[in-house]
Structure 1
Amino acid sequence: MLVWERPEPPERPTPAPLSRERIVRAAVRLADVDGLDAVSLRKVAAELDVGPMRLYGYIATKEELLDLMVDAVHSEIRPTGAGWREALSSLAETTRQAARQHEWLADLIGGRPQLGPNTLAGGDAVLAAMGDIELEIVVPAVAAVNAYVVGAVRREVAERRAERVSGMDKHEWQVAFGPYLLRTFATGRFPALARMVHDGPHLDPDETFRTGLQFVLDGIEARLPR
Protein backbone atom coordinates (compact mmCIF):
# COMPACT_ATOMS: atom_id res chain seq x y z
CA MET A 1 0.00 0.00 0.00
CA LEU A 2 1.41 3.39 -1.00
CA VAL A 3 2.07 6.02 1.63
CA TRP A 4 -0.82 8.11 0.33
CA GLU A 5 -3.27 5.32 1.22
CA ARG A 6 -1.67 3.97 4.39
CA PRO A 7 -3.36 5.14 7.61
CA GLU A 8 -1.27 6.87 10.25
CA PRO A 9 -0.70 5.29 13.68
CA PRO A 10 -3.05 6.42 16.47
CA GLU A 11 -2.08 9.75 18.04
CA ARG A 12 0.27 9.64 21.01
CA PRO A 13 0.39 12.90 22.99
CA THR A 14 3.71 12.05 24.64
CA PRO A 15 6.59 12.55 24.45
CA ALA A 16 5.67 14.73 21.46
CA PRO A 17 2.66 14.70 19.12
CA LEU A 18 3.53 13.41 15.67
CA SER A 19 1.95 13.16 12.24
CA ARG A 20 3.09 12.76 8.65
CA GLU A 21 2.38 16.45 8.10
CA ARG A 22 4.69 17.47 10.98
CA ILE A 23 7.39 15.10 9.77
CA VAL A 24 7.22 16.47 6.22
CA ARG A 25 7.25 20.10 7.39
CA ALA A 26 10.39 19.39 9.43
CA ALA A 27 12.06 17.68 6.48
CA VAL A 28 11.24 20.61 4.19
CA ARG A 29 12.72 23.05 6.72
CA LEU A 30 15.95 21.06 6.84
CA ALA A 31 16.16 20.79 3.05
CA ASP A 32 15.43 24.51 2.56
CA VAL A 33 18.41 25.40 4.75
CA ASP A 34 20.99 22.75 3.89
CA GLY A 35 19.72 20.80 0.87
CA LEU A 36 18.68 17.19 0.51
CA ASP A 37 21.87 15.93 2.15
CA ALA A 38 20.48 17.32 5.41
CA VAL A 39 17.39 15.12 5.18
CA SER A 40 17.36 11.72 6.82
CA LEU A 41 14.88 10.07 9.14
CA ARG A 42 17.41 10.44 11.97
CA LYS A 43 17.90 14.17 11.37
CA VAL A 44 14.17 14.78 10.98
CA ALA A 45 13.52 12.93 14.23
CA ALA A 46 16.10 15.12 15.98
CA GLU A 47 14.42 18.21 14.54
CA LEU A 48 11.12 17.02 16.06
CA ASP A 49 12.77 15.93 19.32
CA VAL A 50 11.60 12.33 19.02
CA GLY A 51 13.36 9.02 18.59
CA PRO A 52 14.00 7.88 14.99
CA MET A 53 12.00 4.69 15.48
CA ARG A 54 8.82 6.70 16.05
CA LEU A 55 8.99 7.95 12.47
CA TYR A 56 8.81 4.45 11.00
CA GLY A 57 5.17 4.15 11.99
CA TYR A 58 4.45 7.04 9.63
CA ILE A 59 7.09 6.70 6.91
CA ALA A 60 8.81 3.47 5.91
CA THR A 61 11.73 4.80 3.84
CA LYS A 62 13.56 8.00 2.92
CA GLU A 63 12.14 7.64 -0.61
CA GLU A 64 8.62 7.91 0.82
CA LEU A 65 9.68 11.00 2.75
CA LEU A 66 11.04 12.62 -0.42
CA ASP A 67 7.80 11.83 -2.26
CA LEU A 68 5.83 13.47 0.55
CA MET A 69 8.10 16.53 0.50
CA VAL A 70 7.65 17.00 -3.23
CA ASP A 71 3.89 16.68 -2.92
CA ALA A 72 3.83 19.18 -0.05
CA VAL A 73 5.60 21.74 -2.24
CA HIS A 74 3.14 21.00 -5.04
CA SER A 75 0.50 22.67 -2.87
CA GLU A 76 2.32 25.90 -3.89
CA ILE A 77 2.09 25.03 -7.59
CA ARG A 78 -1.40 26.01 -8.60
CA PRO A 79 -2.38 26.38 -12.27
CA THR A 80 -4.91 29.19 -12.67
CA GLY A 81 -6.67 30.91 -15.54
CA ALA A 82 -9.66 30.22 -17.70
CA GLY A 83 -7.83 29.21 -20.87
CA TRP A 84 -5.17 26.64 -21.70
CA ARG A 85 -2.43 29.23 -22.26
CA GLU A 86 -3.03 30.93 -18.92
CA ALA A 87 -3.14 27.58 -17.12
CA LEU A 88 0.11 26.35 -18.65
CA SER A 89 1.79 29.72 -18.01
CA SER A 90 0.78 29.71 -14.36
CA LEU A 91 1.89 26.08 -14.02
CA ALA A 92 5.32 27.07 -15.33
CA GLU A 93 5.61 30.24 -13.25
CA THR A 94 4.49 28.70 -9.97
CA THR A 95 6.77 25.69 -10.47
CA ARG A 96 9.70 28.06 -10.95
CA GLN A 97 8.71 30.09 -7.89
CA ALA A 98 8.45 26.92 -5.80
CA ALA A 99 11.93 25.83 -6.92
CA ARG A 100 13.34 29.24 -6.03
CA GLN A 101 11.80 28.91 -2.57
CA HIS A 102 12.82 25.25 -2.22
CA GLU A 103 16.00 24.84 -4.27
CA TRP A 104 16.17 21.10 -3.60
CA LEU A 105 12.98 20.62 -5.64
CA ALA A 106 15.06 20.93 -8.80
CA ASP A 107 16.80 17.67 -7.87
CA LEU A 108 13.54 15.74 -7.56
CA ILE A 109 11.26 16.97 -10.36
CA GLY A 110 11.33 15.50 -13.83
CA GLY A 111 11.64 11.84 -12.86
CA ARG A 112 8.82 9.37 -12.46
CA PRO A 113 5.33 10.90 -12.22
CA GLN A 114 4.45 12.08 -8.72
CA LEU A 115 1.24 10.54 -7.39
CA GLY A 116 0.49 12.61 -4.29
CA PRO A 117 -2.85 14.40 -3.88
CA ASN A 118 -1.48 17.91 -4.40
CA THR A 119 0.36 16.87 -7.55
CA LEU A 120 -2.71 15.09 -8.91
CA ALA A 121 -4.89 18.13 -8.16
CA GLY A 122 -2.53 20.39 -10.12
CA GLY A 123 -2.45 18.01 -13.06
CA ASP A 124 -6.23 17.73 -13.05
CA ALA A 125 -6.57 21.53 -13.05
CA VAL A 126 -4.30 21.84 -16.08
CA LEU A 127 -6.18 19.18 -18.02
CA ALA A 128 -9.51 20.78 -17.12
CA ALA A 129 -8.25 24.12 -18.44
CA MET A 130 -7.34 22.49 -21.76
CA GLY A 131 -11.09 22.12 -22.29
CA ASP A 132 -12.17 20.32 -25.42
CA ILE A 133 -8.73 20.13 -27.04
CA GLU A 134 -8.03 16.61 -28.24
CA LEU A 135 -5.88 14.49 -25.94
CA GLU A 136 -3.54 13.79 -28.87
CA ILE A 137 -2.50 17.46 -28.55
CA VAL A 138 -3.00 17.94 -24.82
CA VAL A 139 -0.68 15.15 -23.66
CA PRO A 140 2.44 16.17 -25.65
CA ALA A 141 1.67 19.86 -25.04
CA VAL A 142 1.69 19.47 -21.26
CA ALA A 143 4.77 17.24 -21.51
CA ALA A 144 6.57 19.90 -23.57
CA VAL A 145 5.84 22.63 -21.02
CA ASN A 146 6.91 20.38 -18.15
CA ALA A 147 10.13 19.47 -19.96
CA TYR A 148 10.91 23.13 -20.60
CA VAL A 149 10.22 24.10 -16.99
CA VAL A 150 12.30 21.26 -15.54
CA GLY A 151 15.25 22.14 -17.77
CA ALA A 152 15.00 25.88 -17.13
CA VAL A 153 14.62 25.47 -13.37
CA ARG A 154 17.53 23.06 -13.12
CA ARG A 155 19.75 25.43 -15.09
CA GLU A 156 18.87 28.36 -12.83
CA VAL A 157 19.55 26.31 -9.72
CA ALA A 158 22.83 25.01 -11.16
CA GLU A 159 23.94 28.59 -11.86
CA ARG A 160 23.12 29.71 -8.33
CA ARG A 161 25.02 26.76 -6.88
CA ALA A 162 28.00 27.49 -9.14
CA GLU A 163 28.02 31.08 -7.88
CA ARG A 164 28.11 29.87 -4.29
CA VAL A 165 30.91 27.39 -4.98
CA SER A 166 33.04 29.83 -6.99
CA GLY A 167 32.26 32.85 -4.84
CA MET A 168 31.66 34.89 -8.04
CA ASP A 169 28.36 36.33 -9.17
CA LYS A 170 27.54 36.63 -12.88
CA HIS A 171 29.19 40.05 -13.26
CA GLU A 172 32.36 38.94 -11.50
CA TRP A 173 32.49 35.80 -13.66
CA GLN A 174 32.18 37.93 -16.82
CA VAL A 175 34.98 40.23 -15.64
CA ALA A 176 37.22 37.22 -14.94
CA PHE A 177 36.59 35.35 -18.19
CA GLY A 178 35.72 38.22 -20.55
CA PRO A 179 39.33 38.88 -21.66
CA TYR A 180 39.77 35.23 -22.60
CA LEU A 181 36.63 35.31 -24.77
CA LEU A 182 37.73 38.53 -26.44
CA ARG A 183 41.10 37.01 -27.33
CA THR A 184 39.43 33.84 -28.58
CA PHE A 185 36.86 35.65 -30.71
CA ALA A 186 39.59 37.88 -32.15
CA THR A 187 41.03 34.80 -33.88
CA GLY A 188 37.94 34.64 -36.10
CA ARG A 189 37.40 30.94 -35.38
CA PHE A 190 33.95 31.38 -33.83
CA PRO A 191 32.15 34.14 -35.78
CA ALA A 192 28.60 33.07 -34.90
CA LEU A 193 29.33 32.96 -31.18
CA ALA A 194 31.17 36.29 -31.36
CA ARG A 195 28.17 37.91 -33.05
CA MET A 196 25.81 36.53 -30.41
CA VAL A 197 27.95 37.82 -27.54
CA HIS A 198 28.49 41.24 -29.13
CA ASP A 199 25.07 41.88 -30.66
CA GLY A 200 22.61 39.48 -29.04
CA PRO A 201 20.09 40.37 -26.34
CA HIS A 202 21.30 40.07 -22.77
CA LEU A 203 18.23 38.93 -20.88
CA ASP A 204 17.93 38.62 -17.12
CA PRO A 205 16.74 35.26 -15.69
CA ASP A 206 13.08 36.32 -15.59
CA GLU A 207 13.13 37.49 -19.21
CA THR A 208 14.99 34.38 -20.31
CA PHE A 209 12.46 32.07 -18.64
CA ARG A 210 9.38 33.88 -19.89
CA THR A 211 10.64 34.32 -23.44
CA GLY A 212 11.46 30.62 -23.73
CA LEU A 213 8.07 29.72 -22.27
CA GLN A 214 6.30 31.89 -24.85
CA PHE A 215 8.19 30.08 -27.62
CA VAL A 216 6.88 26.76 -26.30
CA LEU A 217 3.32 28.06 -25.93
CA ASP A 218 3.40 29.61 -29.42
CA GLY A 219 4.43 26.24 -30.82
CA ILE A 220 1.50 24.56 -29.05
CA GLU A 221 -0.91 27.18 -30.33
CA ALA A 222 0.30 26.59 -33.88
CA ARG A 223 -0.80 22.97 -33.58
CA LEU A 224 -4.32 23.74 -32.39
CA PRO A 225 -7.20 23.46 -34.86
CA ARG A 226 -8.35 26.80 -36.19
Structure 2
Amino acid sequence: MAGRAAEPEVIWARPERAGRGPRPAYSRSDIVAAAVRLADADGIDALSMRRIAADVGCGTMSLYNYVPRKEDLHELMVDAVSGEYEFTGAPSGDWRADMLAVGREARGILRRHPWVIRLMTTGYASGPNALRFLEHCLTCLEGVGLPGGAKMELIANINGTVMTIVANELALAERARGLPWSEEEEQAVRGAYLMRQLAGGAYPRLAAVMAESGATRIDPEEIFDRTLGRVLDSFVAPE
Protein backbone atom coordinates (compact mmCIF):
# COMPACT_ATOMS: atom_id res chain seq x y z
CA MET A 1 0.00 0.00 0.00
CA ALA A 2 1.48 3.30 -1.05
CA GLY A 3 2.14 5.85 1.66
CA ARG A 4 0.40 9.18 1.76
CA ALA A 5 2.07 12.04 -0.05
CA ALA A 6 1.64 14.47 2.80
CA GLU A 7 0.53 14.81 6.40
CA PRO A 8 -2.10 17.25 7.69
CA GLU A 9 -0.60 20.54 8.76
CA VAL A 10 -1.97 23.62 10.51
CA ILE A 11 -0.51 26.79 9.03
CA TRP A 12 -0.50 28.44 12.46
CA ALA A 13 1.84 25.75 13.77
CA ARG A 14 4.28 26.22 10.89
CA PRO A 15 7.19 28.57 11.72
CA GLU A 16 7.38 31.60 9.49
CA ARG A 17 11.10 31.07 9.00
CA ALA A 18 13.72 28.48 9.74
CA GLY A 19 15.80 28.94 12.86
CA ARG A 20 18.95 29.41 10.84
CA GLY A 21 19.96 31.39 7.82
CA PRO A 22 19.43 35.02 6.82
CA ARG A 23 16.22 36.79 7.73
CA PRO A 24 13.70 36.56 4.85
CA ALA A 25 13.08 39.68 2.82
CA TYR A 26 9.35 39.47 3.46
CA SER A 27 7.06 38.28 6.22
CA ARG A 28 4.01 36.09 6.00
CA SER A 29 1.90 39.11 6.91
CA ASP A 30 3.34 40.99 3.89
CA ILE A 31 2.17 38.18 1.61
CA VAL A 32 -1.27 38.02 3.20
CA ALA A 33 -1.74 41.80 3.11
CA ALA A 34 -0.93 41.80 -0.62
CA ALA A 35 -3.38 38.95 -1.21
CA VAL A 36 -6.15 40.80 0.65
CA ARG A 37 -5.49 43.99 -1.34
CA LEU A 38 -5.69 42.13 -4.64
CA ALA A 39 -8.82 40.20 -3.68
CA ASP A 40 -10.50 43.41 -2.53
CA ALA A 41 -9.68 45.08 -5.83
CA ASP A 42 -10.38 42.30 -8.33
CA GLY A 43 -12.10 39.41 -6.54
CA ILE A 44 -10.85 36.07 -5.30
CA ASP A 45 -10.95 34.45 -8.74
CA ALA A 46 -8.35 36.92 -10.02
CA LEU A 47 -5.96 36.12 -7.20
CA SER A 48 -2.84 34.10 -8.03
CA MET A 49 0.57 33.53 -6.54
CA ARG A 50 2.06 35.23 -9.59
CA ARG A 51 0.06 38.41 -8.95
CA ILE A 52 0.89 38.36 -5.26
CA ALA A 53 4.58 37.95 -6.04
CA ALA A 54 4.47 40.87 -8.49
CA ASP A 55 2.72 43.03 -5.89
CA VAL A 56 5.26 42.18 -3.19
CA GLY A 57 8.23 42.24 -5.53
CA CYS A 58 9.61 38.72 -5.29
CA GLY A 59 9.75 35.50 -7.29
CA THR A 60 6.59 33.45 -7.51
CA MET A 61 8.15 30.20 -6.29
CA SER A 62 9.66 31.91 -3.25
CA LEU A 63 6.15 32.58 -1.93
CA TYR A 64 5.72 28.87 -1.21
CA ASN A 65 8.39 29.20 1.47
CA TYR A 66 5.96 31.46 3.33
CA VAL A 67 2.61 29.87 2.37
CA PRO A 68 2.86 26.28 1.12
CA ARG A 69 -0.73 25.82 -0.13
CA LYS A 70 -3.55 27.89 -1.58
CA GLU A 71 -5.80 26.69 1.23
CA ASP A 72 -3.30 28.03 3.75
CA LEU A 73 -3.31 31.40 2.01
CA HIS A 74 -7.11 31.52 2.14
CA GLU A 75 -7.10 30.70 5.85
CA LEU A 76 -4.54 33.41 6.53
CA MET A 77 -6.55 35.93 4.51
CA VAL A 78 -9.81 35.17 6.32
CA ASP A 79 -8.11 35.45 9.68
CA ALA A 80 -6.41 38.70 8.68
CA VAL A 81 -9.68 40.47 7.94
CA SER A 82 -11.19 38.97 11.11
CA GLY A 83 -8.67 41.17 12.89
CA GLU A 84 -10.83 44.16 11.88
CA TYR A 85 -13.34 43.42 14.65
CA GLU A 86 -12.85 46.20 17.17
CA PHE A 87 -14.39 44.69 20.31
CA THR A 88 -13.67 47.89 22.18
CA GLY A 89 -14.15 47.46 25.91
CA ALA A 90 -15.86 44.70 27.84
CA PRO A 91 -19.31 43.41 26.87
CA SER A 92 -22.11 45.63 28.14
CA GLY A 93 -23.96 42.87 29.98
CA ASP A 94 -26.87 43.00 27.50
CA TRP A 95 -26.02 39.90 25.50
CA ARG A 96 -28.55 40.60 22.75
CA ALA A 97 -27.17 44.09 22.18
CA ASP A 98 -23.61 42.78 22.28
CA MET A 99 -24.28 40.02 19.73
CA LEU A 100 -26.17 42.44 17.51
CA ALA A 101 -23.08 44.67 17.61
CA VAL A 102 -20.97 41.67 16.55
CA GLY A 103 -23.33 41.07 13.64
CA ARG A 104 -23.12 44.69 12.54
CA GLU A 105 -19.33 44.56 12.60
CA ALA A 106 -19.39 41.33 10.60
CA ARG A 107 -21.61 42.98 8.02
CA GLY A 108 -19.17 45.85 7.63
CA ILE A 109 -16.21 43.51 7.24
CA LEU A 110 -17.97 41.43 4.60
CA ARG A 111 -18.95 44.52 2.66
CA ARG A 112 -15.32 45.65 2.63
CA HIS A 113 -14.06 42.17 1.74
CA PRO A 114 -16.88 40.40 -0.17
CA TRP A 115 -14.60 37.51 -1.22
CA VAL A 116 -14.66 36.28 2.39
CA ILE A 117 -18.16 34.90 1.79
CA ARG A 118 -16.68 32.52 -0.81
CA LEU A 119 -13.90 31.34 1.46
CA MET A 120 -15.47 31.23 4.91
CA THR A 121 -15.66 27.80 6.50
CA THR A 122 -15.89 26.50 10.04
CA GLY A 123 -12.50 24.89 9.39
CA TYR A 124 -10.93 28.35 9.66
CA ALA A 125 -11.48 28.65 13.39
CA SER A 126 -7.99 28.17 14.80
CA GLY A 127 -6.27 31.39 13.75
CA PRO A 128 -5.51 34.03 16.38
CA ASN A 129 -8.20 36.45 15.23
CA ALA A 130 -10.79 33.68 14.88
CA LEU A 131 -10.04 32.56 18.43
CA ARG A 132 -10.28 36.16 19.63
CA PHE A 133 -13.67 36.46 17.91
CA LEU A 134 -15.02 33.29 19.52
CA GLU A 135 -13.71 34.26 22.94
CA HIS A 136 -15.41 37.65 22.69
CA CYS A 137 -18.73 36.13 21.62
CA LEU A 138 -18.63 33.56 24.42
CA THR A 139 -17.87 36.34 26.89
CA CYS A 140 -20.97 38.19 25.62
CA LEU A 141 -22.99 34.99 26.14
CA GLU A 142 -21.52 34.13 29.51
CA GLY A 143 -24.70 34.90 31.46
CA VAL A 144 -27.03 33.17 29.01
CA GLY A 145 -28.50 29.90 30.24
CA LEU A 146 -27.37 27.80 27.29
CA PRO A 147 -24.95 24.87 27.13
CA GLY A 148 -21.65 25.53 25.40
CA GLY A 149 -22.62 23.69 22.23
CA ALA A 150 -25.76 25.79 21.84
CA LYS A 151 -23.73 28.97 22.29
CA MET A 152 -21.41 27.88 19.47
CA GLU A 153 -24.46 27.15 17.30
CA LEU A 154 -25.83 30.62 18.06
CA ILE A 155 -22.56 32.21 16.96
CA ALA A 156 -22.57 30.10 13.77
CA ASN A 157 -26.19 31.10 13.07
CA ILE A 158 -25.33 34.78 13.41
CA ASN A 159 -22.38 34.38 11.03
CA GLY A 160 -24.45 32.44 8.50
CA THR A 161 -27.31 34.93 8.61
CA VAL A 162 -25.01 37.91 8.14
CA MET A 163 -23.24 36.23 5.22
CA THR A 164 -26.57 35.47 3.52
CA ILE A 165 -27.80 39.04 3.95
CA VAL A 166 -24.58 40.59 2.69
CA ALA A 167 -24.38 38.19 -0.27
CA ASN A 168 -27.86 39.33 -1.33
CA GLU A 169 -26.95 42.99 -0.81
CA LEU A 170 -23.82 42.61 -2.92
CA ALA A 171 -25.68 40.78 -5.67
CA LEU A 172 -28.32 43.52 -5.83
CA ALA A 173 -25.64 46.21 -5.92
CA GLU A 174 -23.76 44.40 -8.70
CA ARG A 175 -26.94 44.01 -10.73
CA ALA A 176 -27.83 47.69 -10.27
CA ARG A 177 -24.42 48.70 -11.61
CA GLY A 178 -25.17 46.91 -14.86
CA LEU A 179 -28.52 48.55 -15.51
CA PRO A 180 -28.86 51.37 -18.06
CA TRP A 181 -31.43 53.06 -15.81
CA SER A 182 -31.61 53.97 -12.15
CA GLU A 183 -32.58 51.50 -9.45
CA GLU A 184 -35.57 53.72 -8.60
CA GLU A 185 -36.84 53.49 -12.18
CA GLU A 186 -36.38 49.73 -12.14
CA GLN A 187 -38.30 49.33 -8.89
CA ALA A 188 -41.12 51.59 -10.11
CA VAL A 189 -41.64 49.45 -13.22
CA ARG A 190 -41.46 46.21 -11.23
CA GLY A 191 -43.83 47.58 -8.61
CA ALA A 192 -46.40 48.58 -11.21
CA TYR A 193 -46.19 45.14 -12.83
CA LEU A 194 -46.64 43.43 -9.46
CA MET A 195 -49.72 45.53 -8.68
CA ARG A 196 -51.29 44.54 -12.00
CA GLN A 197 -50.73 40.87 -11.21
CA LEU A 198 -52.22 41.18 -7.74
CA ALA A 199 -55.24 43.07 -9.03
CA GLY A 200 -56.31 40.02 -11.05
CA GLY A 201 -57.30 38.08 -7.92
CA ALA A 202 -55.03 35.07 -8.49
CA TYR A 203 -52.92 35.83 -5.42
CA PRO A 204 -55.33 36.99 -2.69
CA ARG A 205 -53.07 36.31 0.28
CA LEU A 206 -50.13 38.12 -1.26
CA ALA A 207 -52.42 40.99 -2.26
CA ALA A 208 -53.67 41.25 1.33
CA VAL A 209 -50.13 41.36 2.70
CA MET A 210 -49.07 44.01 0.19
CA ALA A 211 -52.16 46.09 0.96
CA GLU A 212 -51.42 45.84 4.68
CA SER A 213 -47.79 46.89 4.31
CA GLY A 214 -48.64 49.62 1.82
CA ALA A 215 -45.88 51.69 0.27
CA THR A 216 -43.80 51.84 3.43
CA ARG A 217 -40.13 52.27 2.62
CA ILE A 218 -38.05 49.26 3.62
CA ASP A 219 -35.15 50.30 5.84
CA PRO A 220 -32.36 47.73 5.31
CA GLU A 221 -30.77 48.60 8.66
CA GLU A 222 -34.02 47.91 10.52
CA ILE A 223 -34.53 44.68 8.58
CA PHE A 224 -30.98 43.59 9.40
CA ASP A 225 -31.38 44.24 13.13
CA ARG A 226 -34.79 42.60 13.23
CA THR A 227 -33.56 39.50 11.40
CA LEU A 228 -30.62 39.01 13.75
CA GLY A 229 -32.92 39.66 16.70
CA ARG A 230 -35.13 36.80 15.59
CA VAL A 231 -32.12 34.50 15.33
CA LEU A 232 -31.16 35.39 18.90
CA ASP A 233 -34.74 34.95 20.11
CA SER A 234 -34.82 31.47 18.58
CA PHE A 235 -32.20 30.42 21.13
CA VAL A 236 -33.44 32.38 24.14
CA ALA A 237 -36.96 33.83 24.20
CA PRO A 238 -37.00 37.53 25.17
CA GLU A 239 -38.19 38.20 28.69
Please, what TM-score do these two structures have when normalized by structure 2? 0.81
Cα 1:180–1:169, aligned 2, differ >3 Å: closer, same or farther?
same
Q: Identify the residue that residue 152 of structure 1 maps to in structure 2.
A: 165
Looking at CA atoms only, which structure, 1 or 2, has the larger radius of gyration? 2
Q: Identify the residue that residue 207 of structure 1 maps to in structure 2.
A: 222
Q: Identify the residue that residue 81 of structure 1 maps to in structure 2.
A: 91
Tell me which amino acid in the other structure corresponds to 1:134. L
Deviation of 1:168 after TM superposition, in Å, equals 5.2
- Please state which structure has a larger fraction of its residues in helix: 1
For 1:198 and 1:170, how far apart are their aligned partners in 2? 23
SS at match of 1:211: helix
Structure 1, residues 92-116: CA drift from partner, whole Å, max 9, x if none? Answer: 1110010111121222235544321
Checking the alignment, whether the CA contact within 8 Å between 2:28 and 2:66 is kept in structure 1 is yes
Determine which of 181, 192, 201 is the counterpart of 1:179. 192
Checking the alignment, whether the CA contact within 8 Å between 1:78 and 1:91 is kept in structure 2 is no
Q: Identify the residue that residue 156 of structure 2 maps to in structure 1.
A: 143
For 2:161 and 2:209, how far apart are their aligned partners in 1? 22
Aligned residue pairs, count: 222
Deviation of 1:13 after TM superposition, in Å, equals 6.9
| Worse-superposed segment, 203-212 or 68-77 | 203-212
Checking the alignment, whether the CA contact within 8 Å between 2:106 and 2:159 is kept in structure 1 is no
Determine which of 126, 134, 138 is the counterpart of 2:146. 134
Q: Identity rate of aligned residues, in percent? A: 35
For 1:169 and 1:34, how far apart are their aligned partners in 2? 25
1:1-226 mapped onto 2 (5 Å cutoff): 1-9=9-17, 17-79=25-87, 81-83=91-93, 84-110=95-121, 112-132=123-143, 133-135=145-147, 137-166=150-179, 170-200=183-213, 201-222=216-237
Cα 1:163–1:109, aligned 2, differ >3 Å: closer, same or farther?
farther
Checking the alignment, whether the CA contact within 8 Å between 1:28 and 1:69 is kept in structure 2 is yes
Cα 1:88–1:222, aligned 2, differ >3 Å: closer, same or farther?
same
Structure 1, residues 12-35: CA drift from partner, whole Å, max 9, x if none? Answer: 678xx3111011111111111111
SS at match of 1:18: coil
Structure 1, residues 33-73: CA drift from partner, whole Å, max 9, x if none? Answer: 11112211111111112110110000112221111111001
Unaligned runs of 5+ in 1: none
For 2:217 and 2:121, how far apart are their aligned partners in 1? 28
Structure 1, residues 106-153: CA drift from partner, whole Å, max 9, x if none? Answer: 222355443211011110111122214331542333233223222222
Checking the alignment, whether the CA contact within 8 Å between 1:81 and 1:129 is kept in structure 2 is yes
Unaligned runs of 5+ in 2: 1-8
How large is the RMSD of aligned CA atoms in angstroms?
2.5
Tell me which amino acid in the other structure corresponds to 1:128. T
For 1:130 and 1:97, how far apart are their aligned partners in 2? 22
Deviation of 1:81 after TM superposition, in Å, equals 2.1
